A and B are shown apart, each in its own frame.
Chain A
Amino acid sequence: MKKEKEFDDIFKKGLGDPVEAGYQEQDWNALEQMLDGNKKRRGFVFWLPILSSAALLLIAFGWWLLRPETVQNQHQRPQIAMHQPVQPGGAGKAVVQSTTQQGKVSSQGDLTAQNGAAVTTTKPGINNGYQAANNGKPNIGLTGSNSIPVTNAGGGYATITGSTQRGNIITLAALNPALPGSGLGSNLSIDSVDVKHEALAANKPDKSNKITTKSIFVQHPRYALSVFGAPEVNGVNSFQQTRSGTNIGLVFSAGLFKKITFSTGALYALKPYNTYFSNYLGNSQPGSNLSSINADCRVLDIPLNVDFQFYSKNRNSFSIGSGLSSYIMLHESYQYNYTDPAVNGSVNYTVPNTNKYIFGVLNLQATYTRQINSAMGLSIQPYMKLPLTGIGANDAKLQTAGVAIGLSWNLNSLSNP
């Protein structure tokens, strides 16, 4: 027994005086992961449904915000359906009366065509004279024998296209103009009239309407540079009729306060959109559901956003933010489509000038960021951009929603390798 005790004591003494095991940072990292993992799983699972709901609510709120407005517009907007015989070749005058759903008929104008038909349309508010030429190209460059471009000489909206078709029925989707037009033949009737806002023709090029929205990336590192790209959808007045666009850019963000991050940058956005004529003109004009406009806008978006980080554990953080974007229109072109099959194709128009819209768009975004390591982070950001002012040649209220995916580079890692 004594021998055994002595034997044991050799180990007890020898092992009781250990050579200090060298500290290894990787061991601490492993423990830190255990500590983080414990909270992370609980925290993430707990927060995930809340955050998902918050993001969905944000989107839904924007949707809701815009949808009622659209519906209201449709009701308030006078719907003009004119069925008026036009006497072929006659010199007589056809009077078209429009009615609004709200019961308001504002004014009547005269529309004269070369074929001798004069059509009067009603339009509240605007008494600009419109000139229509059947074969011509008023300042808009409309072509097609059956289209009648109308130019708003007073600086308002521009083009009215008419089409001939069977019968002596004229349907006017547009507003207030008196249209001197050229007739086509004896059996000319205008089935539909499309009004197009033409800044050029109106000698007011600064009135170009463009609608775009843009996403912004906000990262939670103190100073970060982010690259991101986003698929997005664009719609006018609502998201009922949308087209997909793309957004790519660079954003610099600075966390000047603990949970507050400011960000700015430059984002290039392709914003094609379709809209009905009525939406395009906005509230000021009655519209027709019979024609549509395709727009192709390219915008440089310069956002200024503030984000509030409301959750940050371990590598995950969530924030919500808002801000304003300034748009610099880089390219702006429109294609006007006519529902009347007699219209010969569509009409294209490119706005030659670039315009700026300072702080014309409200940004709303929710951002989830996961740090890949101390220097890099990955972000997913659902966002929405709501117009505060009309943008583009036609003052369209174009909004954008999308989900941006970005990679951020923590600039602080430069000084703290």
Chain B
Amino acid sequence: MGEEELHQLIRGCEKQDRKSQKMLYKAFYGFSMAICLRYTGDRDKAAEVMNQGFFKVFTNVERYDHAKPFKAWLGKIMMNVSIDYYRANLKMAYSDDLETAEHIGDGDYADKNLHYEDLLAMVQQLPHAYRTVFNLFAIDGYSHEEIADLLNINIGTSKSNLHKARQKLKMMIYKAEQAANNYNRGIDYTSIVAINGTDFKPAYFNNGIRG
């Protein structure tokens, strides 16, 4: 989408034109959803939060400064509504079932060949409080001071949650590796059984003929 087309759409949104709103929504659906997906536990919640974000966009679009990049403004709003979502679920956010992963060393994760879906699934499995801090710190680049301010928590809590988030993620990566290894072995084993079975059947039939 060209800049001119984008600003035309935004002007349409300023007039509350429904068609313009829908075109803008579709154009930035993927971008917005990607942000909300990593702040929320699943796709349904992500869509819910994203719609809250777009609702704010459409009802406050006149505040958008056309001189600045729209995508950054939109991303900021999506992040804000994600934080709102965190606040709304504050009671559940601190449920701590921390499974210590201290025994897992700092291996080299760069060559783990983890794809987007894998990483997203892991982040989404994090407890809400850890997930939010990890997103803000590791991906969106906020400092602990800023996170503490945004989430109305102590800096120490922010650091602690970040640490616990990492430990959990490492545990998930470790478990994923284990599962992958088992899966690979399972494949081998299964194929052997199949070969054996195939070998066995002709023998049986031959025996039967002879008999």
Q: Does the CB pair A24–B119 fall under 8 Å? A: no
Q: Does the CB pair B33–A28 fall under 8 Å? A: no
Q: Does the CB pair B51–A10 fall under 8 Å? A: no
Are A18 and B30 also in contact (CB < 8 A) when A10-B114, A11-B139 are? yes
Q: Which of A32-40, A59-67, A153-161, A256-264 contacts B (4 or more CB under 8 A)?
A: A32-40
Q: Does the CB pair B123–A6 fall under 8 Å? A: no
CA distance A34 to B56 in the complex (A): 11
Number of interface residues of B (CB under 8 A): 39
B138 within 8 A of A: yes
Q: Does the CB pair B139–A16 fall under 8 Å? A: yes
Q: Which residues does chain B contribute within 8 Å of A10, judged by CB atoms?
A: 109-110, 112, 114, 119
Q: Which residues does chain B contribute within 8 Å of A35, judged by CB atoms?
A: 18, 21, 55, 58-59
Residue contacts A-B, CB under 8 angstroms, 6 given: A11-B134, A18-B34, A21-B43, A31-B54, A34-B55, A35-B21
Give which listed residue, B29, B58, B110, contacts A6 with CB less than 8 A. Answer: B110
Q: Which chain A residues in 1-18 approach chain B with CB under 8 Å?
A: 3-4, 6-8, 10-12, 14-18
Are A11 and B34 also in contact (CB < 8 A) when A3-B106, A27-B47, A34-B55 are? no
B87 to chain A, nearest CB (A): 19
A310 within 8 A of B: no
A23 within 8 A of B: yes
Q: Does the CB pair A14–B47 fall under 8 Å? A: no
Most buried by B among A10, A11, A24: A11
Closest 10 CB pairs of A and B: A8-B138, A18-B34, A21-B33, A20-B30, A14-B119, A3-B106, A31-B51, A27-B47, A23-B29, A12-B139
Q: Which residues does chain B contribute within 8 Å of A12, judged by CB atoms?
A: 138-139
Q: Does the CB pair B106–A7 fall under 8 Å? A: yes
Are A7 and B34 also in contact (CB < 8 A) when A14-B119, A21-B29, A30-B47 are? no
Q: Which residues does chain A contribute within 8 Å of B134, judged by CB atoms?
A: 11
A14 to chain B, nearest CB (A): 4
A39 to chain B, nearest CB (A): 9
Q: Does the CB pair A18–B116 fall under 8 Å? A: yes
A19 within 8 A of B: yes
Give which listed residue, A8, A15, A31, contacts B116 with CB less than 8 A. Answer: A15
Chain B 200-211 against A: per-residue CB contact (8 Å), 1 yes, 0 no?
Answer: 000000000000
CA distance A108 to B32 in the complex (A): 94
Interface of chain A, main secondary structure:
helix
Q: Does the CB pair B166–A4 fall under 8 Å? A: yes
CA distance A7 to B172 in the complex (A): 13
Q: Which residues does chain B contribute within 8 Å of A27, judged by CB atoms?
A: 29, 47, 50-51
Q: Which chain B residues in 36-52 approach chain A with CB under 8 Å?
A: 37-38, 43, 47-48, 50-51
- CB closest residue in chain A, given B25: A28
B144 within 8 A of A: no
B174 to chain A, nearest CB (A): 13
Q: Does the CB pair B22–A28 fall under 8 Å? A: yes
Q: Which chain B residues in 152-178 approach chain A with CB under 8 Å?
A: 166, 169-170
B99 within 8 A of A: no
A374 to chain B, nearest CB (A): 14
Q: Which residues does chain B contribute within 8 Å of A38, judged by CB atoms?
A: 55, 59
CA distance A16 to B18 in the complex (A): 30
B125 to chain A, nearest CB (A): 13
Q: Does the CB pair A21–B116 fall under 8 Å? A: no
Most buried by B among A17, A21, A24, A35: A21
Are A8 and B119 also in contact (CB < 8 A) when A27-B50, A28-B25 are? no
- CB closest residue in chain B, given A16: B139
Are A11 and B47 also in contact (CB < 8 A) when A3-B106, A18-B116, A21-B29 are? no
Are A15 and B47 also in contact (CB < 8 A) when A7-B106, A8-B137, A31-B55 are? no
B184 to chain A, nearest CB (A): 22
Q: Which residues does chain B contribute within 8 Å of A3, judged by CB atoms?
A: 106
Chain B 113-141 against A: per-residue CB contact (8 Å), 1 yes, 0 no?
Answer: 01111111001000000000010011100
Give which listed residue, A11, A18, A21, contacts B169 with CB less than 8 A. Answer: A11
CA distance A19 to B121 in the complex (A): 13
CA distance A283 to B37 in the complex (A): 79
A272 to chain B, nearest CB (A): 49
CA distance A38 to B52 in the complex (A): 12
CA distance A20 to B34 in the complex (A): 8
A26 to chain B, nearest CB (A): 8
B172 to chain A, nearest CB (A): 11
Are A21 and B139 also in contact (CB < 8 A) when A7-B109, A14-B114, A27-B47 are? no
B26 within 8 A of A: yes
Most buried by A among B38, B55, B112: B55
CA distance A31 to B56 in the complex (A): 11
CA distance A6 to B118 in the complex (A): 17
A-B contact sample (20 more), CB < 8 A, given A10-B112, A11-B169, A19-B117: A8-B138, A11-B119, A11-B123, A11-B134, A14-B116, A14-B119, A15-B120, A15-B123, A16-B139, A17-B116, A18-B34, A19-B116, A23-B30, A27-B47, A27-B50, A28-B25, A31-B25, A31-B51, A34-B51, A34-B55
CA distance A18 to B34 in the complex (A): 6
